Structure 1
């Protein structure tokens, strides 16, 4: 068989088998007994004039203020060089170095790996040591773990 037909043939086979399985599933669902939903109770647990029925736009200012207050301590504990942006419904609640350009960690890891491969060569072996405070019990490590 010509190699250029292998992938299209494989994709066609997967498509046909998927369609067949979907049809079988649809038949099984149609054949199964459908249970009608239970009737809702005549009385409602929440009174008509309950605070829980206040629309969101009346609750928003209080919720935003509380969220900002809750975020103060964690934001102050962040190390320097950290960027953070917290927004809700398009409104910026917290912004810390959010416009400062930074290299994403995944990109930085790729660059480091390429440099290590170039400098050390493909035959190099890197060893990672894992240190724990106490040995694992039943395959579970309790406490801190250091690499």
Structure 2
């Protein structure tokens, strides 16, 4: 078997993991935009930088633990379980960040106060990195 063909023997696993992770990302975006009290994507389309930062940071923070799991396991169930945990974790980051740290967060996002977006995006990524680091097998 040539090295290229041998390398392609893992293509089905790659495709499965990629589809599951992309599915989880889509699920996360739907869940995140459902819990925010404003219309994230509509604000982004209008050029609202703060909404883009918060959503983008949350997506990165969510993707980091998935990347960790995918690089440490061949078990799709591990990926699914930790995908759910990462999703819940990022939703909690939003709730804590938007209600505890910045109680007027909704108004801040809608007014495009960039500092609010930077803070929540940074918090989302920081928690994602902590989750990533915690997922060592």
| TM-score of Structure 1 vs Structure 2, range by shorter chain | under 0.3
* Larger Rg, first or second structure (1 or 2): 1
Larger helix percent: 2
Bigger strand fraction: 1
TM-score for both structures, normalised by structure 2: 0.22
TM-score by length of 1: 0.21
Structure with larger RCO (C-alpha < 8 A, sep 6+): 2
